[in-house]
Amino acid sequence: MIDRNRLGAWVRRFLLEYLVAERNLSHNTQISYRDTLTLLLPFVSRRASVAIDHLSVLDISPAIVRAFLEHVEHERGCGIVTRNQRLCAIHSLGRFIAMRSPEHLAWCTEIRSIPFKKTTQAVIHYLDKPEVEALLRAPNRATSQGARDYAILLFLYNTGARADEAACLSVGNLQLGTSPSVRILGKGNKWRVCPLWAVTATALRPLIVERRTEDRVFIGRTGNPMTRFGMYRVVSVYGRAAGKWVDSMQGRRISPHTIRHTTAVHLLRAGVDINTIRAWLGHVSLDTTHIYAEVDLEMKAKALACLDVTNVPEAMRLRPNSASLMAFMRGL
């Protein structure tokens, strides 16, 4: 008979069944939830003086959760956003257990009553048109690496893709014929289709010559597929280089998400309706997309073609179950 009070069995089911099969959460979210529990369980074990593999559900008391959140903020030096992310994972675990074990409903109610901290709305950083043009001028397209990097920057701006989405892009997801488009696998394993400019298709074609449909589009210098960290590096390097031409970019940190914000704001200014932008970016909630409407209220009735970057000139070259619960989670 299964001990419904033993925490370890619930954690395994939560990570392997609930997050993956039922919630269909993105890989990064799954990792975040796993990391939260990897931090939480040793903390609870120390406070309760019970070995991790012998912890019960009730050992995760509201008082210990609050102490853990204080530990995250003040001892680990994390911000409020990270603190709230950790709490969200704990709330989710509590709900999962209570839905399948009614005797834990009161415990779950107490856990889920622990509130999130309010945060100030993050400032949305984006690039103006001259700044985008400077960024796209930076790669030396005469070299294979520069041509690849130019294609990455252009693809990110055209689609508003997240770094991970661009890194995981496969050759078979591209349609570069008369009506170029791309299928992007986003959060929650949901697909969306974005149109591609002709100039974007032209930049991508050399990267997929004689490549298999399952191959990744963007390959690193070692011959291995690029990661999202590689995407961040590419954007950061050329963001700094663009500061040579545009003073407003000097000292700024430019990331793939900066380009994603830029795509959203430029589409909004071009008169594209908010629902189309939501589908374009792959947002689950329309509330997320509405943030961009608050960034810049100056709506301009321009066609989407105003974002065309065909004539951007080139510039000169710039340099399974385990015996130990902790071992199980580390192995995911």
Give the angle subtended at the CA of 210 by the CAs of 209 and 214, to the nearest 5°. 100
- Our answer to whether residue 187 is catalytic in this structure is yes
Query: Active-site residue among 137, 260, 261, 269?
Result: 260
**Tokens representing residue 286 in the block:** 């329309």
Query: Active-site residue among 4, 47, 91, 257?
Result: 257
Query: Active-site residue among 83, 261, 278, 283?
Result: 283
- Our answer to whether residue 23 is catalytic in this structure is no
- Our answer to whether residue 257 is catalytic in this structure is yes
Write a three-state SS string for 240-257. Answer: HHHCCCCHHHCCCCCCHH
Measure the CA–CA gap between 229 and 92, rounded to whole angstroms: 28
- Our answer to whether residue 66 is catalytic in this structure is no
- Our answer to whether residue 162 is catalytic in this structure is yes
Query: For residue 281, which of 258, 254, 261 has the smallest C-alpha distance?
Result: 261
Query: Active-site residue among 187, 228, 233, 244?
Result: 187
- Our answer to whether residue 260 is catalytic in this structure is yes
**Tokens representing residue 304 in the block:** 């989407």
Query: Active-site residue among 150, 157, 238, 292?
Result: 292
Asked if 173 contacts 186 with a C-beta cutoff of 8 angstroms, the reply is: no
Query: Active-site residue among 83, 104, 137, 162?
Result: 162
Measure the CA–CA gap between 69 and 82, rounded to whole angstroms: 10
**Which residues carry out catalysis?**
162, 187, 257, 260, 283, 292
